[in-house]
């Protein structure tokens, strides 16, 4: 077991005996200690942390050999004790062995006899130690296996996917907690129940049985609807190393959210298609009647019609670019390049660009920017802010009838800088106001029927304002005009200074 010399304790009240044994054993390179009685031996044994073999006389003062055997086994159950006795009888030998001694030598004995017994004892001890190590190793393995099994079971039950395993006969051999949640009726069935009876879902049963009964290993997949949820079910064979099918394992994954997303996506595509189709149909018809002359020859009317078609085409292009911007924001491909920006100058540029358009419509466009007390700079992407302000001013001019006014004001309170676009236009009801930020929503009435729009402008405005951690407020009433106020954080506020 180790390379160190074996350690032996010789216990005898006769000094000659002790020393004689010591010399014989030391000559064989054993490490030898001696004690004059059982009590002293016990103390030495404790102090030295044990000996490989203890050789002890039976009759000694204070503590004799028989008591020493018992006392030693309390400290170390594997302690080996060899008894030497002057009056060896069968009775004492049997008694000593019963108490745990591994052998005895009658006095007097030859050195060879002593050494033979010691070697036997040491061999026995080595075997005992080895056996103990093996036993411990086995116990450790068993613990590990038990732990591994409980680990796998725990993981299996913590999974969000439902797991169902059936054997070759189609009987349930395993189901996890998620499966019991998905199929509560199955959870009440006993283990080893035939899946055909236990699972009240013919499609799942046939999927699993298809895999179990297949000649060659196959993987079967299917979408199943269970209650309000949709599951993707994948069934695979459970194979032995030899390749033989032992059964099947089905995994049920909840894909309800994905399905909803899919539906939302196709609805969106359908809405986009509709929004593209209507103006295109109108442009097509306009071109058609001018080219075919089906509406007669009237150059002035044709020119007006082409003008309207052009406007609709421009609106379509805006729709497409708004869509691209919205998609970019939603897919995270649109990042703001926030910098110190002057809201006043961005608003002034935009209002200037709309002067002609407003004048054409006989709408007064007025800008109020306090040059005397400059507004704190905002931390914003100038292009995004331009897009926000353009949309608001464009809407105000569009939805204000001839002779009306649009007032644009910029102010601030140190935390936010605010642009307010107020018009004397057609306004809207509370119900309409609640929906104006929805994609493609447009207020529909006799006035708006003549105003082209995409229904995406304010959606985009809201997204851009949100990205800046700003806010947008709407005040409107039918016939009373509308006021849109967008507040964007100042540099000082956004950076916490």
Partner 1 sequence: MSDVKKVLLVDDDADLVAVNRAVLENHGFAIATAYSGPKGLVAAKAEAPDLIVLDVMMGTNSEGFDLARALKKDEATKHIPLIMVTSVNTTVPFKFEPDAKYLPVDRFLEKPLAPEALLKEVQGMLS
Determine the interface stretch with partner 1 among 109-117, 133-141, 412-420, 447-455 (rule: CB under 8 A): 447-455
Q: Give the bridge partners for 390, in sequence order.
A: none
Q: Could you tell me which stretch among 88-96, 219-227, 230-238, 288-296 binds partner 1 (CB under 8 A)? A: 288-296
Q: Which is nearer to partner 1, 221 or 278 (CB)?
A: 278
Let me know if 23 is exposed, middle or buried by CB neighbors in 10 A (0-12, 13-18, 19+).
exposed
User: Is 282 an interacting residue with respect to partner 1 (CB under 8 A)?
Assistant: yes
Let me know: does 446 contact 404? Beta carbons within 8 Å.
no
Asked if 232 is part of the footprint of partner 1 (rule: CB under 8 A), the reply reads: no
337 touches partner 1 by CB under 8 A = no
Using the rule CB under 8 A, which residue among 296, 299, 332, 479 binds partner 1? 296
**Nearest distance from C-beta of residue 154 to partner 1, angstroms:** 46
Closer to partner 1 by Cβ: residue 308 or 409: 308
Taking phi over 0 as left and psi of -120 to 50 as alpha, with beta for the rest, 49 belongs to left
- Tell me which DSSP letter residue 439 carries: T
Residue count, binding to partner 1 (CB under 8 A)? 30
With binding defined as CB under 8 A, does residue 319 bind partner 1? no
450 binds partner 1 (CB under 8 A): yes
Query: Of 92, 285, 405, 407, which one interacts with partner 1 (CB under 8 A)?
Result: 285
Please check whether residue 94 is in contact with residue 64, taking contact to mean a CB–CB distance below 8 angstroms. Answer: no
Which residue number, 379 or 426, has a Cβ lying nearer to partner 1? 426
Of 228, 446, 479, 495, the one binding partner 1 by CB under 8 A:
446
Phi, psi torsion values for 360, nearest 5 degrees:
-55, -35
Closest distance to partner 1 from the beta carbon of 306 (Å): 11
Residue among 334 and 440 whose Cβ is closer to partner 1: 440
Bridge-based pairing state of the strands 53-57 and 7-11: parallel
Q: Pick the piece of the chain touching partner 1 (CB under 8 A) from 280-288, 389-397, 400-408, 464-472.
A: 280-288
User: Which is it for the CA torsion 365, 370, 374, 377, positive or negative?
Assistant: negative
For residues 270 and 261, what is the distance between their CA atoms, to the nearest angstrom?
A: 14
User: Cα separation of 490 and 209, whole Å?
Assistant: 66
CA 331 – CA 263 distance, rounded (Å): 18
CB-based contact 286:310 (threshold 8 Å) = no
- Asked if residue 25 lies in contact with residue 34, where contact means CB atoms within 8 angstroms, the answer is no
289 near partner 1, judged by CB under 8 A: yes
Only one of the segments 3-11, 73-81, 204-212, 307-315 lies at the binding site for partner 1 (rule: CB under 8 A); that segment is 307-315
Looking at 51-59, 291-299, 335-343, 393-401, which segment touches partner 1 (CB under 8 A)?
A: 291-299
| C-alpha closest to that of 348 among 320, 390, 315 | 390
The overall longest dimension of the chain from CA atoms, in Å, is 147
**Residue with structure tokens 């039918």?**
478
Q: Is 288 in the site for partner 1 (CB under 8 A)?
A: yes
Which residues are registered as beta bridge partners of 103?
Answer: 82
Taking CB under 8 A as the criterion, which residues in 33-92 touch partner 1?
Answer: none
* Contact stretch for partner 1 (CB under 8 A) within 54-62, 233-241, 253-261, 279-287: 279-287
- Dihedral of CA atoms 231, 232, 237, 239 in degrees, nearest 10, equals -100
Binding to partner 1, residues 258-277 (CB under 8 A): 270, 273-274, 277
Please name the residues in contact with 380: beta carbons below 8 A apart, sequence gap of 6 or more.
336, 338, 339, 341, 343, 468, 488
What is the x/- site pattern for partner 1, positions 425-444, by CB under 8 A?
-------------------x
Smallest separation, CB 270 to partner 1 (Å): 6
Q: Two tokens at 411?
A: 């102010």
Instruction: CB nearer to partner 1: give 217 or 455.
Output: 455
Site residues (vs partner 1, CB under 8 A):
270, 273-274, 277-278, 280-282, 284-286, 288-289, 292, 294-296, 298, 301, 305, 308-309, 312, 444-446, 448-450, 452
């Amino acid at each position: 077991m180790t390379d160190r010399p074996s350690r032996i304790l010789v216990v005898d009240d006769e000094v000659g005996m002790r020393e004689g044994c010591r010399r014989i054993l030391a000559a064989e390179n054993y490490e030898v200690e001696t004690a004059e009685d059982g009590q002293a031996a016990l103390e030495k044994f404790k102090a030295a942390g044990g000996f490989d073999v203890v050789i002890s006389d039976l009759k000694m003062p204070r503590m004799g050999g028989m008591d020493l055997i018992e006392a030693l086994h309390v400290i170390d159950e594997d302690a080996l004790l060899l008894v030497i006795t002057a009056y060896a009888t069968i009775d004492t030998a049997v008694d000593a062995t019963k108490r745990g001694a591994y052998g005895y030598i009658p006095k007097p004995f030859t050195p060879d006899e002593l050494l033979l017994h010691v070697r036997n004892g040491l061999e026995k001890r080595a075997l005992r130690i080895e056996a103990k190590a093996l036993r411990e190793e086995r116990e450790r393995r068993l613990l590990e296996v038990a732990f591994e099994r409980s680990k796998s079971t725990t993981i299996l039950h913590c999974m969000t996917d439902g797991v169902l395993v059936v054997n070759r006969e189609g009987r349930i051999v395993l189901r996890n907690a998620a499966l019991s949640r998905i199929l509560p009726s199955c959870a009440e069935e006993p283990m080893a129940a035939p899946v055909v009876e236990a699972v009240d879902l013919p499609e799942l049963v046939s999927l699993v049985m298809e895999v179990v009964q297949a000649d060659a290993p196959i993987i079967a997949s299917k979408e199943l609807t269970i209650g309000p949820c949709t599951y993707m079910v994948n069934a695979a064979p459970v194979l032995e190393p030899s390749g033989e099918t032992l059964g099947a394992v089905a995994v049920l994954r909840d894909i309800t959210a994905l399905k909803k997303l899919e539906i939302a996506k196709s609805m969106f595509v359908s809405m986009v298609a509709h929004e593209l189709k209507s103006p295109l149909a109108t442009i097509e018809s306009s071109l058609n009647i001018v080219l075919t002359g089906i509406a007669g020859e009237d150059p002035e009317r044709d020119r007006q019609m082409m003008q309207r078609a052009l406007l609709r085409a421009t609106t379509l292009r805006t729709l497409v670019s708004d869509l691209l911007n919205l998609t970019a924001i939603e897919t995270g491909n649109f990042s703001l390049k926030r910098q110190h920006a002057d809201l006043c100058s961005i608003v002034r540029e935009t209002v200037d660009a709309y002067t002609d358009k407003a004048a054409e419509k006989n709408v007064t466009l007025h800008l109020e920017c306090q040059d005397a007390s400059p507004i704190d700079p905002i931390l914003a992407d100038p292009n995004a802010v331009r897009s926000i302000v353009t949309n608001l001013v464009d809407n105000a001019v569009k939805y204000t009838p001839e002779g009306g006014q649009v007032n644009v004001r910029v102010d601030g309170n140190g935390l936010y800088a605010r642009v307010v676009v107020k018009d004397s236009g057609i306004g809207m009801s509370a119900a309409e106001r609640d929906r104006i930020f929805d994609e493609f929503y447009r207020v529909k009435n006799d006035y708006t029927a003549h105003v082209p729009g995409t229904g995406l402008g304010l959606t985009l405005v809201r997204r851009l304002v949100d990205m800046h951690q700003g806010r947008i407020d709407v005040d409107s009433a039918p016939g009373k005009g509308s006021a849109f106020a967008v507040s964007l954080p100042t540099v000082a506020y956004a950076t916490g200074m």
